[in-house]
Structure formats: structure tokens, C-alpha cells
Amino acid sequence: MTEHYQHRARKRFGQNFLHDAGVIDRILRSIHAKPGEHLLEIGPGQGALTEGLLGSGAQLDVVELDKDLVPILNQQFAGKGNFRLHQGDALKFDFTSLGAEPGSLRVVGNLPYNISTPLIFHLLHNAHLIRDMHFMLQKEVVERMAAGPGGGDWGRLSIMVQYHCRVEHLFNVGPGAFNPPPKVDSAIVRLVPHTTLPHPAKDHRLLERVVREAFNQRRKTLRNTLKALLPVEAIEAAGVDGSLRPEQLDLAAFVRLADQLAERSDPL
């Protein structure tokens, strides 16, 4: 098993390997995997969580980008019947290829900070397959996900994650739990896709567009940031005051704005 210690964490992959047994146990207890469940682990690294997840008896698929980790993971786990390894980029991974039943896939990951936001958006587009997600992320990213309207943390990530999921900030993890220690605190978040969306938009892609435009210049008023998409009368028709700044609006208000855009985009 000497190979296990030869792999150095790589900056270009944003790798920080979890080694604190107490933190690992707490994450595994939060996930509480059971036999018969289907789990997907993104970025298993050196297998800190993988062992416990496999021990639950659940079917576990893992996606790992770093080719050098593949033999290490196979050496440890390939003999187990409930383990399948996919070498590749999770940002390009086709989650439908796993054959998971709708609403059944449980996703787990200690996500590299440099890909966490685009990867979460990629997963949200596959939310119909997912039962829940447990991620280790930069603490400030989790705070943005869990934020409410009115503060500086409320923005595109908060709105689009909360459109699709219930967000639970479970607990924080200090840098010492990792090797090498990152320069920031981390946190564990649980995301549970809504079985029924609380504020369904006519077209969620238009919602993404409105939110992106609104927060591109978050200090400006909505009538200024959205003028390329919606005239003032359309903003008012959505029941929104155009003199407000984007961080003052809740999710439901953004959905109403997106639905105004959908009405204007519909061919007559």
C-alpha cells in the first residue's frame, strides 16, 4: 500500500484530501447510506469517504478526473461488487448513463473549489434523477447557497440552487481536516431537490438568464440591469419595483420576471 502515500495533491485539480477520521465519520452519518441505494461520489480522491460508502452495501459509482488516482482506487476497491469507477471529468459526465431511477441517485463529493459552482449547475440540470446531494464546499459557497434575500450573499447561486432544492448547511470543517490544509474553512451542505417546485417558472433557462443579467451589476437597479431583456412596464407587470436592486428580490419575484420574459418571447 506504499502507492497510497506517493500521490501528491495537485493544484491544477484543486485537490485537498480529507484525512480527519472524526469529520469523515460525521459526513458518513449525515449521508446515512443503506443497502439497495445508488450513490455517486464525485472526486473520491484517495478514498476517504469511499470506504465507508461501500461499507453501507449501497451501489457506488465514482467519477475521478486524476488518472494517477485510478490505480490507487482500483487497488483498494475494485474487488468489491458494489464499486464502479469512471475516469473522467464530472463537468462533462452523462449522469443518465448510470441507469438510475428518477429521484433515486444520491450524490456525494468533496468538490474541488475551482469547479464547485459549474458542477452544481450541471447537477441541477439533472435534478430529476437525484434524491439528495451532500457536498463538502468552501464555507462561503455554502453560505451563498443557503442565503436569503436582502444580504450580500444572496445572488445567482442562492436563487438557482433554491429554485431546484432545499438547502441545509449541516456543519463547518476547519482546514486541519485536509492534506494539504486549504487556506479557507469548508462546510458540508445537503441539497434535496424539490419533488414539486415551490415557484415553477415557465422556462427555467429564462430564469437563469434574468438572474444572471440582474446580478451582473448588482449595485444597479433592476430597470438598468434588465433593460436589455425587459422594459420597465414588464418589470411592473411582474409586480416588481424597478428601482430596487436585485438582492432585494426573493425567488418568487425573479420567477415572475422570467415569466414576463417568456410571454414576450412566445411567438404570437
Domain span at 46? 17-193
Q: Per the annotation, does 110 bind a ligand?
A: yes
Pair (58, 131) in one structural domain? yes
**Residue 259 in domain:** yes
The last residue of one of the domains, among 193, 227, 243, is 193
Mean pLDDT of 21-48: 95
18 in a known ligand binding site: yes
Is there a single domain that holds both residue 43 and residue 170? yes
Determine if residue 43 is labeled as part of a ligand binding site. yes
Does 97 lie in the same domain as 63? Answer: yes
Q: Tell me: the pLDDT tens digits for 162-211? A: 999 999 999 999 999 988 888 899 999 999 999 999 999 999 999 999 99
125 & 32 share domain? yes
How many domains is the chain partitioned into structurally?
A: 2
Residues 220 and 152 in one domain: no
Would the annotation count 64 as a binding residue? yes
HEC per residue, the chain: CCHHHHCCCCHHHCCCEECCHHHHHHHHHHHCCCCCCEEEEECCCCCCCHHHHHHCCCEEEEEECCHHHHHHHHHHHCCCCCEEEEECCHHHCCHHHHCCCCCCEEEEEECCCCCHHHHHHHHHCCHHHEEEEEEEEEHHHHHHHHCCCCCCCCCHHHHHHHHHEEEEEEEEECHHHEECCCCCCEEEEEEEECCCCCCCCCCHHHHHHHHHHHHHCCCCCHHHHCCCCCCHHHHHHCCCCCCCCHHHCCHHHHHHHHHHHHHHHCCC
Q: Does the CA dihedral 235-239-245-249 come out positive or negative?
A: negative
CATH number at residue 239: 1.10.8.100
Closest to 110 (Cα-Cα) out of 178, 56, 43, 183: 43
Say yes or no: 65 and 174 in one domain: yes
165 & 247 share domain: no
One-letter amino acid for residue 267 of the chain: P
Indicate the residue among 193, 217, 233 that finishes a domain: 193
Assess whether 149 and 42 both reside in one domain. yes
Per-residue confidence at 218, pLDDT binned at 50, 70, 90? confident
Q: Is the pLDDT of residue 268 over 80?
A: no
pTM, two decimals, is 0.91
Same domain flag for 252 and 181: no
Q: What is the mean pLDDT of the chain?
A: 91
89 is in an annotated binding site: yes
Q: What is the pLDDT of residue 180?
A: 85
Q: Examine the pLDDT at 86 and tell me if it is beyond 60.
A: yes
Domain containing residue 128: CATH number: 3.40.50.150
pLDDT higher than 80, residue 5: no
In this predicted structure, what is the pLDDT of residue 13? 46
- Report if residue 8 sits inside a domain: no
Domain boundary among 193, 220, 235: 193
Identify the pLDDT of residue 1.
34
Same domain membership, residue 66 and residue 44: yes
pLDDT-wise least confident of 3-12, 64-73, 97-106: 3-12
Angle at 187 between CA 183 and CA 188, to 5 degrees: 145
Task: Give the pLDDT band (50/70/90) at residue 266.
Answer: low
